[in-house]
Chain A
Amino acid sequence: MVVVNRNGFIVFHNNEVLAIDNVFMAAVAFLASRDTGIGVGMRKTMIAIGLSAVAMATPAYADVQIGVLMPTSGFAAGFGLEEQGSIDLFMKSYSDLGPAGKLKLVIYDTRGEPAQAISLTKKLIDSDKVTAIIGPYLSGESEAAFPVANRAATPIVTPSSAKPGIAAANRPWAFRFSSTTDKTDKALIEHWTKKQSKPIKNVVLFYDGKDAVSSSDGKTVMPAALKAANVNVLDAISFQTGDVDFSAQVTRAKALNPDGIVVTALFTEAGHLVSELRKQGMTQPIAAGVELSLDHKFIEIAGKASEGVLTAAEFNRDSSKPTVVQFVKDYEAATHHLPGNSSALMYDTLSLMRHCIMSTGVVGNSEADKVKIRDCWANMNGVEAPIAGAVTINKDGDGVRQPNFLVVRDGKFVVDP
């Protein structure tokens, strides 16, 4: 079944959201209506889609509407799809808000693009009249969307963005559930260097120069963490989000013969890079920053080359905590794959947002309701989230948490004690 929601997003029965501009849909309808050789049935369907994309539906009141921004298409789609699994799971059990009615989510696909994140944030606030926003996913998107929400005095909480300073620059309305790289990198590098049999004195640092968090991490945060651990950076070599050919970068690094390799990149690029490193015969130990995000896709892309790669992540899938075990079991049953870091972060953020709505008596989207949600996040201290446990938000609006260290063993991320 295909339903078109009021903003021209086609929502499929499994809640996969496909963004198609109204204009484009109208064009499809127009084309379909011409003599183009498309079957009559198909033509009718296309016309229906095109027309309803332009039509407006009446907004619902008396429920609490929360906007969700995440990438379900484009280069970062993998993250958004992991989040979608958690959203489906959460809404199945927890959409009831008691006296406030139902929790309603308005979900938009940002395609991982900051410009989209800005316009969709405006749309959520101005046309959908949401009480608060969860998202966006990436730091680049959050950096762009936070000021918009901050000016419009609407709470916005990213589950995942990790670039330092983004929430701090947008007080008092912007928050993040996640911790930041300045906290995780230092711990990761300490753990990594301690683990090696051969001491690591020199490294080559690879970073994604286009992705906001990877770039800030590769240019400033990670070098500082390495310096603190007395590790010398021989060369910092960049690539761009979307690259698939890493031969030039690896050939350049190979000539320097470092003791170790540090990578700050999202899972796709990190996967291709690691694969090329091993292909060209570089066997040095590899540490990857938290932006890699514990993700089965990284292992799928890098294949055998991923063995031994160490990373930091907030989510420990192998935890014996009952709520985590239950979450992993339910998630896997629903999606047929294991939840990743993104899934866990989204699930906890949704839980805490629901907690804030219910504990402060939010009933709609008035200014007072927004203030209640804002203050709930700002004063969050030791509130229990199902997966991460006690959650505290600091004065910058950031989550404070110790990362887990994960290493790839036999094609799986496991906790590295």
Chain B
Amino acid sequence: MVFLQQLINGVMLGSTYALVAIGYSLIFGVLRLLHFAHGEVFMVGAFIGLGAVVYLHVGPLVALLCAAVGCALLGVVIEFVAFRPIRRRNGSLLAPIVSSLGVGLLLQEVATNLFGAEQTRFPPQFEGEMIRLGGLFVTSTQLFILGTSFVLMLAVHLFVSYTKYGMAMRASAESTDVARLLGINVDTVIVLTFAFASALGGVAGVLVGFAFSAISPFMGVSMSIKGVAIMLIGGLGSIYGAMVGGLILGVVEVMTVGYLASSYRDAFSFALLIIMLLVRPQGLFSGASAAKR
């Protein structure tokens, strides 16, 4: 029974990781870019949701929508300010990574000044109902997060596989030059990818805010690192990989804490990552990009 409960704990934790990692993967898949500020977009999403709830007195669904729209806009601004100028000037490969780190720091400091450095939370009613099944326990928010990550995973898959823009994304991921030759406006595709992935990040921020009641300007930092680890485990740029990788990381973390000690948690997570890189360097899902899924 205890083991089963720990497994549930792990899957629930993992689904929040997956939610963030999906956005990460999408951007990497199309742009081949480690967007380190994605964790901060996630953080901003949480604050937008919180603002909507506290000042506009909206319900959870509208809060999610506000965060999605707000973060999509933020994503587009980041693309225009931090990435497009570098691409235009054919900057080095490292430049966009450093630039994204800079954007992340900037967002953190701005958030610290606007909202204070302390942790804050959604009103208690957003924590969700507790559901007890026999001796097992789960909250409705956790189930909602798990469901949302599955739905988003499917939606992203359908979007990139069957829509015109999705196909354009795949073509751009394959080769931007060829895509341009085929008449695809690559810049538009990139902007769209940022908007879409950032909207996902915003939704994730609000949901994680609901689940853990811990919103702070620094909440994106560890998510960024975990997001990269999950991408490597699941396969760079693979949406399914992000989902499965997130769940695996969550379960490994919880089991380490549940049966060993919290101080081993990161050691085990990263040992898993190293083993993965040794045994299957391309990750669980070998598709090289989101576009190839």
Give the nearest-CB partner of A19 in chain B: B109
Once bound together, how far apart are the Cα atoms of A414 and B220, in whole Å? Answer: 35
Chain B residues 94-133 with CB under 8 Å of chain A are: 102, 105-106, 109, 112-113, 116-121, 124, 130, 132
Q: Once the chains bind, are A37 and B80 in contact (CB under 8 Å)?
A: yes
Chain B residues 135-152 with CB under 8 Å of chain A are: 137, 139
Once bound together, how far apart are the Cα atoms of A136 and B12, in whole Å? Answer: 38
Q: Once the chains bind, are A240 and B124 in contact (CB under 8 Å)?
A: no
Q: Once the chains bind, are A81 and B118 in contact (CB under 8 Å)?
A: yes
A37 in complex: contacting residue of B2, B81, B109, CB < 8 Å: B81
Once bound together, how far apart are the Cα atoms of A300 and B212, in whole Å? Answer: 13
Q: Once the chains bind, are A303 and B124 in contact (CB under 8 Å)?
A: yes
B105 in complex: contacting residue of A24, A297, A304, CB < 8 Å: A24
Q: Once the chains bind, are B262 and A243 in contact (CB under 8 Å)?
A: yes
A247 in complex: contacting residue of B13, B109, B222, CB < 8 Å: B13
Encode A25-36 as 1/0 by CB contact (under 8 A) with B.
001100100111
A303 partner residues in chain B, CB cutoff 8 A: 124, 213
Encode A1-35 as 1/0 by CB contact (under 8 A) with B.
00000000000100010101000100110010011
Encode A217-240 as 1/0 by CB contact (under 8 A) with B.
000000000000000000001111
Say yes or no: is B254 at the interface (Cβ < 8 Å to chain A).
yes
Known: A36-B85, A74-B117. A242 touches B2 (CB 8 A): no
Encode B65-78 as 1/0 by CB contact (under 8 A) with A.
00000000000000
B6 partner residues in chain A, CB cutoff 8 A: 248, 251-252
Q: Once the chains bind, are A251 and B9 in contact (CB under 8 Å)?
A: yes
Once bound together, how far apart are the Cα atoms of A37 and B81, in whole Å? Answer: 7
B171 to chain A, nearest CB (A): 28
Say yes or no: is A375 at the interface (Cβ < 8 Å to chain B).
no
Q: How many residues of chain B get a CB closer than 8 Å to chain A's CBs?
A: 43
Q: Once the chains bind, are B118 and A239 in contact (CB under 8 Å)?
A: no
Say yes or no: is A87 at the interface (Cβ < 8 Å to chain B).
no
Say yes or no: is B178 at the interface (Cβ < 8 Å to chain A).
no
Say yes or no: is A417 at the interface (Cβ < 8 Å to chain B).
no
Q: Once the chains bind, are B257 and A248 in contact (CB under 8 Å)?
A: yes
Encode A260-291 as 1/0 by CB contact (under 8 A) with B.
00000000100010010001110000000000
Say yes or no: is A72 at the interface (Cβ < 8 Å to chain B).
yes
Once bound together, how far apart are the Cα atoms of A18 and B10, in whole Å? Answer: 37
A73 in complex: contacting residue of B2, B112, B139, CB < 8 Å: B112
Q: Once the chains bind, are B117 and A72 in contact (CB under 8 Å)?
A: yes
Once bound together, how far apart are the Cα atoms of A247 and B11, in whole Å? Answer: 11
Q: Once the chains bind, are B80 and A242 in contact (CB under 8 Å)?
A: no
B249 to chain A, nearest CB (A): 12
B109 in complex: contacting residue of A20, A34, A301, CB < 8 Å: A20
Once bound together, how far apart are the Cα atoms of A255 and B254, in whole Å? Answer: 15
Once bound together, how far apart are the Cα atoms of A252 and B258, in whole Å? Answer: 6
B106 partner residues in chain A, CB cutoff 8 A: 28
Say yes or no: is A77 at the interface (Cβ < 8 Å to chain B).
yes
Give the nearest-CB partner of A250 in chain B: B9
Chain B residues 75-90 with CB under 8 Å of chain A are: 80-81, 85
Q: Once the chains bind, are A240 and B121 in contact (CB under 8 Å)?
A: no
Q: Once the chains bind, are A251 and B2 in contact (CB under 8 Å)?
A: yes
Which residues of A line the B interface, CB within 8 A? 12, 16, 18, 20, 24, 27-28, 31, 34-38, 72-75, 77-78, 81, 209-210, 237-240, 242-245, 247-249, 251-252, 254-255, 268, 272, 275, 279-281, 297, 300-301, 303-304
A to B CB contacts below 8 Å, 18 in the list: A12-B113, A24-B105, A28-B106, A35-B85, A73-B117, A77-B118, A78-B117, A209-B261, A245-B13, A245-B212, A248-B6, A248-B9, A248-B255, A251-B5, A255-B2, A268-B119, A279-B137, A303-B124
Please give me the 8 A-B residue pairs with the lowest Cβ-Cβ distance, nearest first. Answer: A77-B117, A247-B9, A248-B257, A244-B214, A244-B212, A248-B254, A248-B258, A73-B117
Which residues of B line the A interface, CB within 8 A? 2, 5-6, 9-10, 12-13, 80-81, 85, 102, 105-106, 109, 112-113, 116-121, 124, 130, 132, 137, 139, 212-214, 218-219, 222, 253-255, 257-259, 261-263, 265
